[in-house]
Amino acid sequence: MARVHRWTKPAVGSLKVNWDAAVQTRIGRIGIGVLIRDHQGLVIGNWCKALLFGGDSKQVVDQMNQDSPNWSIGGCLISDAKTVLNSAVVWSISHVYREANMVAHRLAQAAFECIEDMYDIEICPYCILYVVTKEMSQ
């Protein structure tokens, strides 16, 4: 698999959701960052949350792409996510490297500072504004 070094815009009429989790083992916290953008790279929505959680994003992608049931708690959550996604006309999920996922990574890092969920619609958080602007011009 070729390593992608930059974020790419989705097809016209499509949305792209980038997400990442960051771990601070010394305090036992996980930061989650999610950013939704349109085909121009404009921010549609974002979400940050700090919580206790375990897992690996590559494992989630692999499980999302499997057809066999996984009856663990995480597997049930993935099954629910697939049910919601299957109500859409077309969807896909793929693993991307950090270089192509910097906005979600930075949101996940920013989540450590959150006391409660942080979410916005059509507003780009300041902590990722530079990266989003740079990626929109690519």
Mean pLDDT by 10 residues, the chain (138 residues): 76 90 80 91 90 63 74 69 72 81 92 85 91 88
Question: What pLDDT, on a 0 to 100 scale, did the predictor assign at position 55?
Answer: 52
If phi over 0 gives left and psi between -120 and 50 gives alpha, with beta otherwise, what is residue 80?
alpha
Question: What pLDDT, on a 0 to 100 scale, did the predictor assign at position 39?
Answer: 93
Give the 3-state secondary structure of residue 36: strand
Question: What pLDDT, on a 0 to 100 scale, did the predictor assign at position 85?
Answer: 72
Question: What pLDDT, on a 0 to 100 scale, did the predictor assign at position 138?
Answer: 78
Number of helices (H), then strands (E), belonging to the chain: the values are: 4, 4
By the 8 A CB rule, do 108 and 20 touch? yes
Candidates 21, 77, 27; CA nearest to 49 is: 21
What beta strand segments (E) does 15-133 contain?
16-24, 29-37, 43-51, 118-121
Strands, sheet with 43-51, edge to edge from the N-terminal-most edge strand? 16-24, 29-37, 43-51, 118-121
Could you tell me the pTM of the whole model? 0.71
